Chain A
Amino acid sequence: MQAAVNLLGFESSLLKGGFPMAILKRKNKIPLGIYVHVPFCRSKCQYCDFYSLTTKDDKLLDSYIDAMCAHIKEAGSLAPSYRVDTVYFGGGTPTFFGAEGLAVLLTAIRRSFDVANDAEITFEANPDSVSDKLLRRLRAEGFNRVSLGIQCDDDAILQKIGRPHNYAQAVSAVDRIRKAGFRNLSLDLMYGLPGQTLEGWESTLRRVLSLNPEHVSCYGLKVEERTPLYQYKDLCNLPDDDLQADMYLAAVEILRTKGYRQYEISNFAKKGLVSRHNMKYWLGGEYLGFGPDASSDFGGKRFTMVRDLLAYIDGVKNGGSVITEMQEIPRRERAGEYLMTRLRTTNGINQAEYEKYYLLPFAPLEEAMERFAKQGLASKAPDGRWYLSPEGFLVSNSIITDLLLIQENTVPLAKKRY
């Protein structure tokens, strides 16, 4: 089978080029996250531009599973020095795909990879597709975290944006998820929705928080060009940027008072319950993505699978190309990624780490951060790391691009031996 060549083409599993992984020290094996893209939904939401299909064609689902299993197996053989500590099933709607399919895929992962006993294993769910039976089965298979997309508590808005469920179903789903034994639940919410007001959003948050999730994600609606919403965006009373900014700041404040710590631009968790999988994206961990349009950062390279289910299946089965983009990221570019990804988190950036891994001077960045601090956009922690304030997160693109420009003009430090 040629899929292995398609997937990676690495001669051996390599350490990544200088990306900091404090976590490395923990064990001999390198930690790895696995993302499984399940590109099936009951219906398409109006704002969604992720790759998913609204089909339940059995034959197609079967060949998808076959291809995924083959792909996972091949990749596993290339990663003997890794230990998987997070698995994430996203979509699409994994629960719409069904418990059986998810179980088969997780089993394939366990067979081909060394999955840690305490691995965080998440699946995404919609309130309309979580039967008690499905939940029990997945819990039994070893899934231990659920990310439930409820978005909003206003049924009129839910309908407007094309969600296939109402709020009552969401409440019921939470209840049943708990009963099935999941102790780590994340709720996905959206602000900036059509017709939403600041007051409406604040009451949504309070109501949702009374369900007592361990983790909350709050995403501002972004109208993407290739979505149905884009066509009528001017007609549906969308909150403007200023109102979205107010909603965001209100959310940060409400969540803080309820005991949720902000650890990333859009993510909040009770102490110790951050999404370990998502943190890999921001802290430079390695991850492999399976399925159409899934992204990986593995062995020093970034790559993305083809955004077409049939092409993906065909590629894996017959040795065609499944990777649309593969890039080896040089250290200098990793230094830019460090700023881009780290500043999304409250971990932020720090001098020692930055200078050690990228051999670039931190002082010019520090100077800029001091300027941002004066504007209330950033803070320096007692341990010396710099991170953005909620107001800073809101304009983080602008801050990050300023820093990237500064970084571009810095000259590498003299090499030291470590």
Chain B
Amino acid sequence: MTELSKIRNFSIIAHIDHGKSTLADRLLEECDAIDQRIRAEQMLDSMELEKERGITIKATAATLTYTADDGETYALNLIDTPGHVDFNYEVSRSLAACEGAVLVVDASQGVEAQTLANTYLAIDAGLEVLPVINKIDLPSARPAEVKAEVEDIIGIPAEDSPEISAKNGINIHSVLEMIVKDVPAPTGDREAPLQALIFDSQYDSYRGVIVYTRIKQGTLRPGMDIKMMATGAVYKVVEVGIMNPMGLIPKEALGAGEVGYITASIKTVADTQVGDTITTVENPAPEPLPGYRPVQPMVFSGVYPADGAKYQDLREALEKLKLNDASMSYELESSIALGFGFRCGFLGLLHMEIIQERLEREYNLDLITTAPNVVYRVTKNNGEVLMVYTPLDYPDPMEIQLAEEPFAKVNLIAPQEYVGNIMELAQQRRGEFKDMVYLDANRVELHYEMPLNEIIYDFFDALKSRTRGYGSLDYELIGYRPSRLVKLDILLNGDIVDALSFILFADNAYPRARKICEKLKENIPRAQFEIPVQAAIGGKIIARETIKALRKDVLAKCYGGDITRKKKLLEKQKEGKKRMRTFGTVAVPSEAFMAVLKLDED
């Protein structure tokens, strides 16, 4: 065990593309934690998807051994946090495992909303926040101004902040020195009853779940019987140790102040929820660490195999993903149109996209996903209160006394020249303006209250495009409010395709219905007969398009007995049809579902 005074636990806070992973990489290098020869770009982001998107999805941690200028050797525990608004709770738990945070600020762009949100989380958690000015070697760098901005906006001293370039390895040493000097050493009693904070866990098919933890009080050793205080799960510890980018390094014990891992033949990450407290069965802590919250998916979507026969494969894939992602939920769902599939819950749209991409890539599945929705609350005339997770369960309008939808508090930051654009966007999305604060001479923070539903539909993308990428967003749920909701049904050739139904705000129904009908018309191939495409609310048609009957689809000439080439053409056409889902008599390609999901892109 490392002496408390020689431990520093810190995380790095940065805006998505402001170089967090690059800086982490440089720190590891500087400490020789990574063998140069095997160094891959940005070690901490180990998932392929994370590398592609340039964001951190899962928290990871590494212990760096650093010999400082004072001659002492320190254990620096870097806890990498997820970097997207969907993962705010996970961020807060990672921060709770630290005493300090390195705030990476872009020398030309300044402070961003996402950074700000996480910085406030860090400050609220009592962390020492240490700014670092990055990308100092860019011609557009304005370090002095940005430092002043940090002091003005966040209210923490930045005058002596290191000016670095993570990309080009400039001044990395000064960051390490700052961590040793300014991040407080952890405190804790290694003889006290065990309190260990779970900040992440990961399923490994050989060892079971690997739990990443910060020991707050007490000491953890192999062989101990441990208990997860929130879930109540009990296990015997197999191994403890620390992580470095090369892998897991077993240790005899982990003591208060240390960051490391535990294995205990745990079969599912559902037993090791982020934020839960581990204690011992023999000598339990009187109470868990504060701040635990059970994970709660906010966005739900139907996930179906494009080929109905692959249902079993999809189930197995979801089971495996769930082993490693406690924040995703799935439940069997069956649609008349799509057959058997799952209603999956996600933290947000990014999380949803990630899961879908992983299912498609890692498990080689073709999926049809239905429009995502939030959870609505409906009070029926008989007083019964329903939580509606899927449009399939939305009651008949006649039975509804009160319909409510979740609202969120939204903070938006952008240069002031975009305020008009943002206000226009927020208004379109039913945002209720609260107030507006000038952060400095040209940056503004706006506060809105807005239905969560409006946020999950590409709001972030729309914001980006209306602020030339400068706008940033953060939101948190504030509860349910009454709303005028309707369920929109789509009919193909007179039959409702239940998988295309969704719930929305009444005033949006007409324009949206028209758009959906247009999109479907574009994406459903002409058939041998005319296909009406209709949108209806409670049996009343509010929009209609017609897909004209196919008039000509023929190989007029089949010359010289060349059947083979024509056969290939027909085979190809047949395979194309095979990938479509047939609803009644209408064949719908999965692109049509995708097109309906991406309504706002043009």
By a beta-carbon cutoff of 8 Å, the part of chain A in contact with chain B is 33, 35, 37, 50, 90, 219-220, 222, 241-242, 244-245, 248, 265-266, 280-281, 287, 289, 293-297, 302, 304, 325, 327, 336-337, 340-341, 344, 371-372, 375, 377, 393-402, 404-405, 408
Contacts and interface: CB of A to CB of B under 8 A. Distances in A.
Nearest to A188: B557
Contacts of B567: 336-337, 340
Contacts of A375: 528-529
B553 interface: yes
Contacts of B528: 372, 375, 377, 395, 398-399
A295 B554 contact: no
B38 interface: no
A265 B564 contact: no
Interface stretch (B138-146, B371-379, B467-475, B569-577): B569-577
Interface residues of B, number: 28
Contacts of A248: 552
Contact of B553 (A50, A287, A398): A398
Contacts of B286: none
Given A401-B570, A402-B577, A393 B560 contact: no
A302 B563 contact: yes
Contact of A404 (B555, B574, B585): B574
B550 interface: yes
A219 B557 contact: yes
B570 A297 contact: no
B552 A281 contact: no
A222 B573 CA distance: 17
Contact of A398 (B527, B556, B562, B569): B527
B561 A280 contact: yes
A217 to B, nearest CB: 8
Given A245-B552, A395-B551, A340 B560 contact: no
A287 B561 CA distance: 8
Contacts of A396: 553-555
B566 interface: yes
Contacts of B564: 295, 302, 304, 325, 327
A401 B577 contact: yes
Interface string B561-602: 111101101110110011000000100000000000000000
Contacts, number: 104
B206 interface: no
Interface in B511-548: 527-529
26 contacts: A33-B561, A242-B551, A245-B552, A248-B552, A281-B561, A281-B563, A287-B561, A293-B560, A295-B562, A295-B563, A295-B564, A297-B561, A337-B567, A340-B567, A340-B570, A393-B554, A394-B552, A397-B553, A397-B554, A397-B569, A397-B570, A400-B570, A401-B573, A401-B577, A402-B577, A405-B578
Given A375-B529, A405-B574, A244 B552 contact: yes
A371 B558 CA distance: 27
A-B pairs, top 5 by smallest CB distance, nearest first, are: A245-B551, A241-B552, A220-B556, A401-B574, A397-B553
Interface of B: 527-529, 550-564, 566-567, 569-571, 573-574, 577-578, 585
A394 B573 contact: no
A396 B553 CA distance: 6
Contact of B561 (A35, A50, A219, A241): A35
A404 B552 contact: no
Nearest to A372: B528
A341 B561 CA distance: 10
A395 B555 CA distance: 9
A90 B560 contact: yes
A389 to B, nearest CB: 12
B566 A222 contact: no
A344 B563 CA distance: 12
A248 B553 CA distance: 12
B559 A90 contact: yes
Given A37-B560, A90-B559, A244-B552, 20 more contacts: A35-B561, A90-B560, A219-B557, A222-B555, A222-B557, A241-B551, A242-B552, A266-B556, A294-B560, A295-B560, A295-B563, A304-B564, A337-B567, A340-B567, A344-B558, A394-B551, A398-B573, A399-B528, A401-B577, A404-B571
A304 B562 contact: yes
Contacts of A35: 560-561
A292 to B, nearest CB: 11
A242 B551 CA distance: 6
A151 to B, nearest CB: 13
A325 B550 CA distance: 33
Given A295-B563, A302-B564, A340-B563, A398 B574 contact: no
Given A397-B570, A401-B570, A296 B561 contact: yes
Contacts of A287: 561
